[in-house]
Amino acid sequence: MGFRLLFSQAGVFLPPIQPWRVCFDAMRRDFPATRRYLDMTTPSLSLKKIYSGKVRDLYEIDDKRMLMVATDRLSAFDVILEQPIPDKGKILTAISNFWFDKLAHVVPNHFTGDRVEDVVPAAELPLVEGRAVVAKRLKPVAVEAIVRGYIVGSGWKEYQKSGTVCGIALPAGLKEAAKLPEPIFTPSTKAAVGDHDENISFAQCEAIIGAELAAKVRDTSIALYSAAVQYAASRGIIIADTKFEFGLDEDGTLTLMDEVLTPDSSRFWPADSYAEGTNPPSFDKQFVRNWLESTGWNKEPPAPAVPADVAQKTADKYREALTRLTR
């Protein structure tokens, strides 16, 4: 989910070399099909590319700014699918931009205020139209900030075994998709190359980023989630859970970055069909996840080829989320 970039001594952002972080360049090297797909789905810009993530490509503007481009790539179970989702990058960008603006009163975000057309040559603008933003270059906080308001997914699996999620004890007798008494902060890190995201306890989060910053990330994440949940409810959407990523600016200010409250980073459920005891239909990539699981795939690269109708239905669900949220 997302990417993190760090300053090198030369002031250039580079993928962090840490055991918990999946380095996408290694995936390019180890999986030729992934490398070919990245090459096919990456715009050819004159700006220097500094990183390719699972979904987004980053280009250097100067030592303080970068161009972030959302592609139509889709990852599921930490594997890049070879089939793009039509217009996914544009939809994700529109949803993220909407939420960054709406939640700006809660925490600063990565926007610089610069326009894409001011940094990209006119001849290249069609390559990134609707799918790019000019973002600050930040020092990323080395955890993914996940907030859960409902018990589902990996949280549900853990709860069934231990009655806890990331070390947080929950009431007994909860059903799948039940609403929690209050939102909980359940951070995660990235595992080694080829492995999957790992949930961690808050104590482990403190050990990684420090107690003071961990508390600030937790409190800010819950505040963002709570504000978003209230708005989404007015549009008939339940936000079951979501993931935020943060960075620190030159002054050490906590800053929201990457993407926010999109179908890639969140579970969106239609409120009118929600019921405890079953995993509700959703406006996110759960649709394609369900299809992949139905194939018996072992969740290791390469993924099965996604049929065109499944890709289009996934795109339709993403677009419905955009329409409902912003209409």
| Interatomic CA distance for residues 323 and 150, integer angstroms | 23
pLDDT of residue 42: 60
pTM of the model: 0.86
Quick one: DSSP state of residue 291? H
86 belongs to a structural domain: yes
**Average confidence (pLDDT) over 15-27:** 36
Give the pairing type, strands 56-60 and 48-52.
antiparallel
322 belongs to a structural domain: no
Q: Share the mean pLDDT of the chain.
A: 87
Residues 23 and 118 in one domain: yes
22 belongs to a structural domain: yes
177 belongs to a structural domain: yes
Number of alpha helices (DSSP H) and beta strands (DSSP E) in the chain? 9, 18
Domain, as residue range, for 229 = 141-284
Residue where one domain finishes, among candidates 105, 139, 173: 139
Residues 147 and 41 in one domain: no
Question: Does the structure show a pLDDT above 90 at 22?
Answer: no
Residues 98 and 133 in one domain: yes
308 belongs to a structural domain: no
Cβ-Cβ contacts under 8 Å for 215 (sequence gap 6 or more)? none
Structural domain total, the chain? 2
Residues 145 and 42 in one domain: no
319 belongs to a structural domain: no
List b or e across 96-105, with b for residues whose CB sees 16 or more CB atoms inside 10 angstroms.
bbbbbebbee
Nearest to 285 by CA among 236, 246, 243: 243
pLDDT of residue 53: 85
**Average confidence (pLDDT) over 171-180:** 97
Q: Which helix (H) or strand (E) holds 6?
A: strand 6-7
